[in-house]
Chains A and B, each alone.
Chain A
């Protein structure tokens, strides 16, 4: 098992009242799973993903990640944990505009203190694998949306994470580009990478082996 959420609650105070963003979420994810989180806008999908990614805090509950209890960890420790094991893919790609494709891929490695030759090898490997060697010196603005997202996925994978978190990875893409990205995810999953994606689209959700439905911060049990 890669991670386990137990009775997770998250709320904000608004006008003296608690507004729940997540309410009593329980989730176990085994290694090699491909999970889709679905639900209407404001149902808490992204919040849940951020909590899993340790980018966001929660107010109550327990979160165990690879036998570490995340809720008791200091921020720095937690950052090290997600740095090492989690890769992120965003709807808006979130590539750094000032960096080339090559440098964007290299960036996470810099923060993980890999040596120069290691970085070179890893980036070259990734460029090769995603078939974007010819684009390595281009800047994000010179790529199509699909190509940018390809780089985004490559960047998430480069440090060999155990878990990929994807927040509507196809949201900004046309249907053909979207399909290609989903096919890529499926393939990665086959290779053993655990994936959790948030999506609006029923069709994309079907790529997952399990679908979690959220509504108003609550898990709809019947679907789990």
Chain B
């Protein structure tokens, strides 16, 4: 019996190649898409979950209230951790982490590299809170005492060519550090992303008074709580930290709060935070897309299976007269869909094995797919589509089983009811496809929009040489400027502590406000060269630019318009000459520049001040002439390595650096585009297969019309109409849905384009064109065929 059922199923699938292929393809694509979406979502939701004490770890945040606005920091002051450990009984331990600022030269013999952002200072308790596996070295001592450095496996390989590098010496900005431990590579789903871990004692060594500074916030402080029931009482305690009870000498008010480790990946961004952030809304969108693609695949399945009813009806009737019961018929169709789904599963597994590397590439991360081995997740990923399809196979099977022994095709031949199952499935498919097309168009456009937006600065042909904090270079910057200025192709050189695309430090700044009172605010500070404004093409709105020479050093301040407004000045001219206090220095405001975007267009332009301070220079921006870029860069490298053999030649372009801020958006857009194309493919394939049945079913009607004298164009139009109605209905539903979804997504940007009517009409035209082309060949074939061939039947 069963072998017979399989035989029939196999041959049937083989005979109806087009429809079987469509079902197989859409189902496999559905499974593969779901698979990827699930591992992506899992990766995101599982962020930082590998720490065994994950639910007991909390980070301390600091909020700063000042008159010019509030700041939310993911950072805290150095004494906060020790204070809480000794005063709050709920806190059993803490670890402070500081991300080293700027680029640094690290060397082992010939191997010299510039490292940025991947160097952390940490307390010895690091290993008590976090589960990073130490491969060699001792957890107790590795971070205890100055000048100790821990490397990850990959870093050890990079500098020493082998993992076994314990007790070797590594030069950090010329200072010798002992490798005190080797650590497994940091998993991609950790918000702490580092290659070097340096003992906190090394940090403190050069900053002897820092451990009593309550208004400098360099630390990411993590607390280990006894259990997470004590959060409420701890929050109370945080409000009573004595140093933060009264407002500081600069009128700022500070307050502390805690945030669970597991929530860090999704919470709204705070200043200075570590690790990538993901918006929960993106996860929802992707999940929705995954479900949609799966539903598309399943509805293809149902649609095609039921569309075959006119062909199947005869078979079922015969079998029934031969004595088949309803159960026999049901079994036949279940076996058929089982065969197809298991084939689809095998195809999907093959496709996943082949495509995994490309997906990793697209997502730019390594996936932790070990969870797939867990039987529950395995069952879910493979089981969900299979279950849905079996259901999709059972629905038509039940309908088929009801076909009586005397088959009357007329019963099935009703075209009149607009909302029968198949039409509603078609409408549903078009709705999903339209939503995806419109949304991907919106995302694409917004990304284009922000990337082509006038930033208010000139980022073209600018290359940055990033040498990191190095006061030697700062002190002799003029000589270096002249030296590099002679290189062929370099038009100008200017120094700064930050370049556009990087967040400058926020510092407390006191300025006389419009009412003549001394007012305080947190303002981002970029320490620049006197010709920075000119080189970056900024506009002086009021006052003057910096002048070369000692006079303007540290005592002249240029603000942006946003900062001027924050201090209550309507007219930028009025703030000129106002005195300021900042970072222990003081002087006068000499000029105002236009509000240029020094950060991504996700955010509004923040308050900014520019000041000359050569000792703090970390980068230089070189304006290159067009053409011969490669030679210029090579000449620069040669010159640089001869002048500074200990400082790696580390360069990047300002516009690339700026665009890198949109990497996450671009990645998201890439994923959406990919899945949009997939869903269009599934939809169109389903449509083509469905169209062939549709034409098959209506060929008699068309033949009669033709015999009675209808012309071909009319007939084609007649068939097209049948398809265009579901397209239009699906589209009508899609407009409000995508308007809402697209609007929500755009909310995330401070700068966004206006949604226009053509964002909705162009996809409609595309969709209609696709439908017409897909249906076209078949209808034309039908209309041009000899009507006699079709009238002979029945």
Chain A residues in contact with chain B, CB under 8 A?
50, 53, 55-56, 76, 79, 82-83, 88, 94-99, 103, 106-108, 110-112, 155, 159
Contact = CB atoms under 8 A, between A and B. Distances in A.
B8 A111 contact: no
Contacts of B365: none
Contact of A55 (B315, B319, B406): B406
Given A96-B8, A110-B1, A110-B4, A56 B323 contact: no
B7 A103 contact: yes
Please provide the 3 A-B residue pairs with the shortest distance between their CB atoms, ordered closest to farther: A83-B323, A111-B323, A98-B11
B634 interface: no
A111 B4 contact: no
A157 B324 CA distance: 16
B318 interface: yes
A155 B15 contact: no
A94 B323 CA distance: 14
A103 B11 CA distance: 12
Given A96-B8, A98-B12, A111 B318 contact: no
B555 to A, nearest CB: 93
A94 B406 contact: no
A98 B312 CA distance: 11
Contacts of B405: 55
Nearest to A94: B318
B321 interface: yes
Contacts of A110: 1, 4, 328
Contacts of B318: 94-96
B15 A97 contact: yes
A94 to B, nearest CB: 5
Interface string B400-436: 0000111000000000000000000000000000000
B321 A55 contact: yes
User: Which applies to chain B's interface (DSSP): helix, strand, loop or mixed?
Assistant: helix
A155 to B, nearest CB: 7
Contacts of B319: 96, 107, 111
Residue of B8, B404, B405 with highest tally of chain A CB at under 10 A: B405
A221 to B, nearest CB: 28
A43 B4 CA distance: 40
Given A55-B406, A99-B8, A106-B4, A111 B321 contact: no
Contacts of A88: 321-322
B8 A79 contact: no
B406 A56 contact: yes
Interface in B7-27: 7-8, 11-12, 15
A106 B323 CA distance: 12
B325 interface: yes
A103 B323 contact: no
Contact of B322 (A56, A98, A107): A107
Nearest to B4: A110
Contact of B4 (A82, A83, A103, A159): A103
Given A83-B323, A110-B1, A111-B319, 17 more contacts: A55-B321, A55-B405, A55-B406, A79-B323, A79-B325, A88-B322, A94-B314, A96-B8, A97-B315, A98-B8, A98-B15, A99-B7, A99-B8, A108-B323, A110-B328, A111-B325, A112-B323
A50 B406 contact: yes
Interface in B302-356: 314-315, 317-325, 328
A106 B320 CA distance: 14
Given A98-B12, A111-B328, A53 B321 contact: yes
Nearest to A54: B405
Interface residues of B, number: 22
Given A50-B406, A94-B314, A96-B319, A111 B11 contact: no
A97 B11 CA distance: 9
A110 B5 CA distance: 10
Contacts of B321: 53, 55, 88, 94
A108 B325 contact: no
Contacts of A95: 318
Interface in B204-230: none
A88 B319 CA distance: 11
Nearest to B315: A96
Contacts of B315: 96-97
A82 to B, nearest CB: 8
A159 B325 CA distance: 16
A108 B322 contact: yes
Contacts of A56: 406
B8 to A, nearest CB: 5
Contacts of A159: 323
B349 to A, nearest CB: 28
Contacts of B11: 98-99
B9 to A, nearest CB: 9
Residue of A76, A94, A155 with highest tally of chain B CB at under 10 A: A94
17 contacts: A50-B406, A55-B321, A76-B325, A79-B323, A79-B325, A82-B323, A88-B321, A94-B317, A95-B318, A96-B319, A99-B8, A103-B4, A107-B319, A110-B1, A111-B322, A112-B323, A155-B322
Contacts of B328: 110-111
Contacts of B4: 103, 106-107, 110
Nearest to B321: A88
Contacts of A155: 322
B244 to A, nearest CB: 81
A76 B328 CA distance: 13
Nearest to A79: B325
Nearest to B311: A97
Nearest to B318: A94
A111 B328 CA distance: 8
Contacts of A76: 325
A93 B377 CA distance: 51
Nearest to B8: A98
A83 B315 CA distance: 17
Nearest to B406: A55
Contacts of B325: 76, 79, 111
Contacts of B12: 98
Contacts of A111: 319, 322-325, 328
B411 to A, nearest CB: 13
Nearest to A113: B1
Interface string B694-714: 000000000000000000000
Interface string B116-150: 00000000000000000000000000000000000
A110 B315 CA distance: 15
A159 B324 CA distance: 13
Nearest to A93: B318
Interface string B196-210: 000000000000000
A94 B324 CA distance: 15
A88 B325 CA distance: 16
A151 B708 CA distance: 40
Contacts of A98: 7-8, 11-12, 15
A88 B1 CA distance: 22
Interface in B623-639: none
